[in-house]
Structure 1
Amino acid sequence: MTDVDELAHWFPSRAEIELRPGGTIKFGGDPNMEDSTGRVIAVEEPRHLSFEWGGDELHFDLEALDEGRTRFTLTNVLDAENTAARNGAGWEVCLAALDAHARGERYEEPHAGAEAPWKGVYDSYVAAGFPSGAPIPGVDA
């Protein structure tokens, strides 16, 4: 959750994290978005990390299960309601990439950007009634 090289396998942006409450996170490397910064809200190694990004709060939690397995929970507290379908679809694609990486498999599709396989997932969220309409980086001008 905090190693820049590991995050590159699934997180939608390069994230360099100053790992302490109040620390800065630098997001960059996405050609569809301007570089930005966020603020670390909480760190409880190795179980919890939360931070602000683009007005949203992101909470990452790890829970040890049996047989060496770990449950990963991502909570995205939205700043704007109309981002629900967009963010949900984006995180679904990113988490598929994380799942593949955790199993030692290569995720052949891009996990971020306009070429990621999010469109069908996004359409299903919209059809299910999730709030939508927020601009999509790399797609909407």
Structure 2
Amino acid sequence: MDLGTFIDFDGRPAVRFTRVYEHPVERLWQALTEPGELAHWFPSPEVRMEPRVGGKIEFSGDPNIEEDVSVGTVLVHEPPHRLAFTWGGDELHFTLRAAGEGGCELTLVDVLERRDAAARNAAGWDVCLGALGARIAGTEARAAPDWGPRYEAYIAEGLPSGAPVPGTE
């Protein structure tokens, strides 16, 4: 398991992931920005975005969020290399760069609203990034991998934990 890392992001707690995919930057950009693509891997299966800095981004269909629709703001929109937006109290920063022969390196930084959400969010992003890889490779998994062992691995690595875990209260 390729674990993310707990970092300081401009004085705020964050988790960072770096993954390399054997697909071009443009394919990953499509997966990050098109609603039909996001539905296959992003935690909220319905995402609508105004693709500009200051644009509205709406999330719905996530069974782990109480609101029917949550609204964020696009912070960075630099196709096809950088995208950032608010999601609840977090900020998500995606950076894409070419890697190798036609591949792409994706860096995701989840700037956390709560420090104790690090292990929980890291485990969730591990699952999501795996689903992203399966989506762009055309080999989507039929069932999501078990989230629990990933969460325990992050706790064992010393990531802050203790935030409520949806579905376990």
Tell me the TM-score normalised to structure 1 length: 0.90
2:28 is the counterpart of 1:28 = no
Q: How far apart are residue 79 of structure 1 and its match?
A: 1.4
Mean CA deviation greater in 38-47 or 116-125: 116-125
Counterpart Cα distance in 1 of 2:96 and 2:157: 28
Mean CA deviation greater in 17-26 or 30-39: 30-39
Query: Residues 57-98 of structure 1: CA distance to partner in whole angstroms, max 9, x if unpaired?
Result: 100111012321111111111111000000000000000111
Tell me the TM-score normalised to structure 2 length: 0.76
User: What is the total number of aligned residue pairs between the two structures?
Assistant: 135
Residue of 68, 77, 98 corresponding to 2:102: 68
Residue of 152, 156, 160 corresponding to 1:127: 156
1:8 aligned residue = 39
2:47 is the counterpart of 1:47 = no
Counterpart Cα distance in 2 of 1:68 and 1:81: 36
Identical amino acids, percent of aligned pairs: 51
Q: Which has the higher strand share?
A: 2
The Cα RMSD (Å) is 1.2
Instruction: Could you tell me which runs of 5 or more consecutive residues in structure 2 were left unpaired when the two chains were aligned.
Output: 1-31
2:49 aligned residue = 17
Query: Residues 25-66 of structure 1: CA distance to partner in whole angstroms, max 9, x if unpaired?
Result: 111101221231111101001111000111111001110123
2:130 is the counterpart of 1:87 = no
Q: How far apart are residue 104 of structure 1 and its match?
A: 1.4
Instruction: Could you tell me which runs of 5 or more consecutive residues in structure 1 were left unpaired when the two chains were aligned.
Output: 111-115
